[in-house]
Structure 1
Amino acid sequence: MKYIILGGNGFIGSYIVDILIEKGHEVTIFDRGTEKFRDSLSNVNYVYGNIDDHTLIKETFAEKDILIHCVSTTVPFTSNNNIEFDIESNLINSVKIFRIACEQNIKRIVYLSSGGAIYGEAEVIPITENSQTNPISSYGITKLAIEKYLAYFSSNYGIEYNIIRPSNPYGPRQNPFGNQGVISVFLGKVLRNESIEVWGDGEISKDYVFIEDLAESIYEASISEQTSQIFNIGSGTTISLNKIINTIKEVTEKDLLVNYYPTNKFDVQHFCLDIEKAEKILNFKPKVNLKHGISMTWEFVKSLK
């Protein structure tokens, strides 16, 4: 099959690419720039540009079979700072991308949505795919709207789709020097002997999934006989920030300085995803536990010294 990966040089996208190559598929990556933490791959076709360059996207989509859309220009915090940009760069561009995909006869779209931001503060945990969606950030609202438009294009133009709602992914090749992904960011702080900043009392508990497990589920969604589905992908357990910090102490064997600050209103405080549907349909099973995942991520972070 011929795959096109929007954002294939990003953290999540790069692991999807690895699986596709392993499975023997033809891979084209559309991204703004090269991978941050490894060289370009010889057996991948790279197209560089912005997702608002619809002429280039149309050319790139020609004669492709499956589109995996894992691009987002915002995260929950930044989306609230500039809601108009979030809508224009993500929602409007995604709608245009879906239309082009239909025009270019792409058979299926797999869209990477959000497990935490979509649902908001859930009344019942674990959260199923049928739980109420009450996003508390522009990021979550936009993700939900993109899902709805994808279903619209499927109903009206016949293109197949599946949607992945992941919990918090982490692992090697996630940027430890940015502001997204608490495990990697915390490990980056440890590497530089800096204090760790925690918003709240550290008892915020969320669902974390190792990147290789997430990427495998995305691939399975791209080949599944069942379509028009939404899948939660996570570990099925909740882990507090304090537990993450204690595990990091154990793995790194370092004393950590942790500073606590008032909580952020844009951030969901507690969530855990019900992954039963993905287990049944995608044969999904989280293979990497927290300590092992943090150990592998720490080895990667140390290599950046």
Structure 2
Amino acid sequence: MANYTVVGGQGFIGSEIVKQLEMGGHSVFVPEINDERLFTQSLGIVIDCAGYGDCQNDPLQVFKSNSLLLAEILEKSDFEKLLYISSTRLYMGQEKASENDDLSVLSADKRRLFNLTKLVSEELCLLSDKDVVIIRLSNVYGLALNSPLFLPAITRNAINNKQVDMYVTPEYEKDYVSVVDVADAACQLAAKAKLSQKIFNVASGMNTSAGEIADILSQETGCNIDWHLGSVDEAFPKNDISAIQREIKYQPKNVLNDLRLMINEFKKSLSNQV
């Protein structure tokens, strides 16, 4: 069994990765914030999940979490291999979403700092001359009752308030991937000795519209959907997942099927909290 260090292992994605690694019998070290042991002991295989995205309210923390900590690990730490979690948000506004496509930063994007820090971090990994893997995640969902992420938040509102405010158009669409699939892919890529490339999209490979999600929420909870049109105009191409499917066993779940299951689980969990 291997030794792993999961940076950000107490978070939504990191905790699922830790869970799957421990179920596989591996030894897992989850460092605390500002944990000096990152630089004083052998880390084995590192999976860096320590991302942050609130660009408007805390831009310095976005830089520190997404890039600065990674740079310090690359420079100072003793590790066998490092897997860095990036984002398919880098493809926003592009015509295609393949790992080797050219990327651009949109001047109108209010969260462009997030994209810039991810790009800087990816380049640091690629130029480090270390054994590194980069995975670009799409929008991750899962059973996280208190999560501010889009799907958990609107599911809570649908059940508790019978009201969902949608600040997008019904046609607005994104790629949603299960946190279980993300963790499984990360663990497989981290464990595989030789990879055909260094960057992989980890996504569902299909876009789902807000209208499709709203229909299921309405059917399953009887909630009212209030569309606040014109609030978001981001556009995302369909993610290409052919590379990761050639590399490992990877068949992602369908978010619309999972959404019905997630609603039922949320209902059970929320009723138990009353």
TM-score by length of 2: 0.88
- 1:216 Cα shift? 0.7
- 1:70 Cα shift? 0.5
Per-residue CA shift, 1:246-297, capped at 9, x if unaligned? 12223x24232323143246xx3233210000000122211x2223311332
For residue 248 of structure 1, what is the aligned residue in structure 2? 217
- 1:242 Cα shift? 1.0
State the identity as a percent.
24
Task: Map 1:171-182; keep pairs closer than 5 Å.
Answer: 171-173=142-144, 175-176=146-147, 178=148, 180=149, 182=150
Cα distance in 2 for residues equivalent to 1:172 and 1:112: 20
> Which of the residues 175, 182, 202 maps onto 1:233?
202
Gaps of 5+ in 1: 31-47
Say whether 1:192 aligns with 2:156.
Answer: no
Cα distance in 2 for residues equivalent to 1:119 and 1:144: 11
For residue 97 of structure 1, what is the aligned residue in structure 2? 73
> Which of the residues 164, 167, 187 maps onto 2:138?
167
Relative distance call for 1:90 and 1:237 in structure 2 (3 A) is closer
For residue 36 of structure 1, what is the aligned residue in structure 2? none
Aligned residues of 1:114 and 1:165 also touching (Cα < 8 A)? yes
Task: Map 1:99-118; keep pairs closer than 5 Å.
Answer: 99-101=75-77, 104=78, 106-116=79-89, 118=90
Relative distance call for 1:231 and 1:260 in structure 2 (3 A) is same
Aligned residues of 1:167 and 1:233 also touching (Cα < 8 A)? yes
Aligned residues of 2:170 and 2:210 also touching (Cα < 8 A)? yes
For residue 36 of structure 2, what is the aligned residue in structure 1? 55
Cα distance in 2 for residues equivalent to 1:162 and 1:269: 27
> Which of the residues 118, 129, 132 maps onto 2:99?
129
Say whether 1:296 aligns with 2:261.
Answer: yes
Relative distance call for 1:201 and 1:151 in structure 2 (3 A) is same
TM-score by length of 1: 0.80
Cα distance in 2 for residues equivalent to 1:97 and 1:64: 10
Gaps of 5+ in 2: none
Cα distance in 2 for residues equivalent to 1:174 and 1:168: 16
Task: Map 1:55-94; keep pairs closer than 5 Å.
Answer: 55-59=36-40, 62-72=41-51, 74-75=52-53, 78-94=54-70
For residue 281 of structure 1, what is the aligned residue in structure 2? 247
Aligned residues of 1:109 and 1:161 also touching (Cα < 8 A)? yes
Relative distance call for 1:169 and 1:88 in structure 2 (3 A) is closer
Task: Map 1:213-228; keep pairs closer than 5 Å.
Answer: 213-224=181-192, 225-226=194-195
- Partner of 1:299, secondary structure, is helix
Aligned residues of 1:54 and 1:97 also touching (Cα < 8 A)? no
Segments ≥4 residues shifted beyond 6 Å: none
How many residue pairs were aligned? 263
- 1:204 Cα shift? 1.2
